[in-house]
Amino acid sequence: MKKLGLIILLGLSQALPSVAQQQITLDLQRTIAIANDSSLEAFRTKNMYLSGYWEYRTYKANRLPSLTLNMTPAQYNRDITKRYDSEQDLDIYRSQQSFYAYGNLAIKQNFDLTGGTFYLDTELGYMRSFGSNSYTQYTSVPIRVGYSQSLVGYNPFRWERKIEPLKYEKVKKEYIYNAEQVSEQATTYFFELAMAQAEYDLAKENVASSDTLYRIGMQRLKIASISRADLLTLKLDVVNARNTLQNAESSLKRAMFSLASFLNFEKNTEIRLSLPSRPGELVIPVDAALDAARSNNPNFLGLRQDVLEAERNVDKTKKESRFNASINASIGFNQVAEKFGEAYNRPMQQEMVSVSVSIPLVDWGVRKGKYNMARNNLNVVKTSSRQNEISIEEEVIMTVSDFNVQQALVTSAEEALDLSILAYNETRQRFIIGKADISSLTLSLNRQQEAQRNYISALKNYWLNYYKIRKLTLHDFASGFSLSDKFDYAQ
């Protein structure tokens, strides 16, 4: 098998035209590392994570006190307005000019338990009227403390406390999940190029061999050792081998371009591959894989999020189907004066309590219908979630089962390849000395080519299953650590 890896490693430079190219040698692990660092797919994955990260940061920031400055620095009005003249007992139009300025500094804190909001603020207002009756006034609220909330309504803060941390946990694990998916894609491109290179090497070797056998056949025809029909078969093999070589070269160029594009290399990069050696012994218990998937797989977290959001909608529509009531209460001080300093002198106590109620009398069943839809949707989501959980579990079980038998298939395919090479070389020598016919030689060559394909295919399936298990479970069974724990440590 070292010979096979050497052929793939060294034969690539002969496949492409002799032009100025960047050359790079890759094994499977380096290909995956580059894909997770530089590929466009990796870039998209990182930005998806950052989007979720900042969404969670926004949620956390909303749980902290906020300081807001609201201002109207200047407002000038000059217009004609309708006013009531008490002396004449009628409405008249009068011209007025006024200047207005206002500022409010407020601290707010959301209270998750009740869904209300505490606030502490201060205000200052200035108004000047121009004209025959000009005057100036300042109004101030040195301090005011208040609280507002819905009494029987929907509390979004309580649901956010349940959903937002779960969403962020899913975002983190989706990042790792997508990184392992990139590893899967890189593995696919890697072995597609390896298979294309093997096909090219076999085709090139077949051209040389068929040419040699045809020349030997012409010599043997002269001594009547083979028939003309056999010689024509040998010539047909030469033509077919050259056609196969051209097709293999085109396939090799396409496979190399696909891998280079995926890794975000220059399009004319010449990639040389080194096939991975036979994998070590690793048997993954199905139960352990299922436990890891249930704990780490972001799809499971997404299903839990779907159920929570459906329950939130039921709670919201249920409470909105009843009457709504809210309260807003505040206590503080305020004052008005014609001079700025006096606006803060001996302020008067200010108190405000308001209760608002909204009672649906006739809505023709709209609110009840929304509640029933939300409740039925919750049942659908729960059922779909369970079905999806079963599908994921089945995928884990099947992938682990395939992986556990794939290692034996790799060993068997390697043994078959070694035997096919020995058998072909032996048959070829026997044909040269006249002890084997054309059919035996062709059959032996076909078996060698098939064994070559089977070996690379077995390696490909092994590593694809390996990275698929990592993706489904976010666990590295080879080293025994959780990928999500490693991610948290790296952050």
- Residue 324 Cα distances to 152, 194, 310, 486, angstroms: 6, 68, 21, 48
Rounded Cα distance between 7 and 27, Å, is 14
Residue 20 has pLDDT above 50, yes or no: no
Q: Is the pLDDT of residue 115 over 60?
A: yes
Structure tokens given for 364? 């023709």
Residues 6 or more apart whose Cβ sits within 8 Å of residue 33: none
- 22 has pLDDT over 90: no
Rg (CA), the chain: 39
CATH of domain 191-323+365-490: 1.20.1600.10
Beta partners for residue 352, in sequence order: 330
What is the predicted pLDDT for the residue at 269?
83
For residue 200, which phi and psi values (nearest 5 degrees)?
-65, -45
Strand ranges, E, within 338-482:
348-358, 475-476, 481-482
Cα dihedral: 106, 110, 111, 113 (round 10): 160
Residue that is written with structure tokens 């929304």 in the block:
370
Is 79 exposed, middle or buried, given 0-12, 13-18 or 19+ CB atoms closer than 10 A?
exposed
The answer for residues whose C-beta is within 8 angstroms of residue 107's C-beta and 6 or more apart is 65, 66, 67, 68, 119, 120, 121
For residues 222 and 158, the model is more confident at: 158
Environment class of 117 (CB within 10 Å of its CB; exposed 0-12, middle 13-18, buried 19+): middle
- Overall size of the chain counted in residues: 491
pLDDT at 227: 74
What integer is the mean pLDDT of 120-135?
A: 85
Tally the C-alpha atoms within 13 A of residue 181's C-alpha that lie toward its C-beta: 13
> Which tops the pLDDT comparison, 146 or 1?
146
Q: Where are the domains of the chain?
A: 66-111+116-154+324-359, 191-323+365-490
Q: How far is CA 70 from CA 58, 99, 122, in A?
A: 21, 18, 11
Task: Output the pLDDT for position 14.
Answer: 44
Q: Is 91 strand, coil or helix? A: strand
Model pLDDT, residue 486: 65
Segment (H or E) for 244: helix 228-262
- Which tokens in the block code for residue 142? 């040195």
Q: What is the average pLDDT across 417-439?
A: 81
C-alpha dihedral sign at 59, 64, 65, 71: negative
* Cα distance between residue 190 and residue 181, in whole Å: 14
The pTM for the full model equals: 0.74
Rounded distance between C-alpha atoms, residue 245 and residue 233, angstroms: 18
What would the two tokens of residue 360 be?
Answer: 């649906």
Residue 373 has pLDDT above 60, yes or no: yes
Under the banding of pLDDT at 50, 70 and 90, the label for residue 186 is: very high
Asked whether residue 62 carries a pLDDT value surpassing 50, the answer given is yes
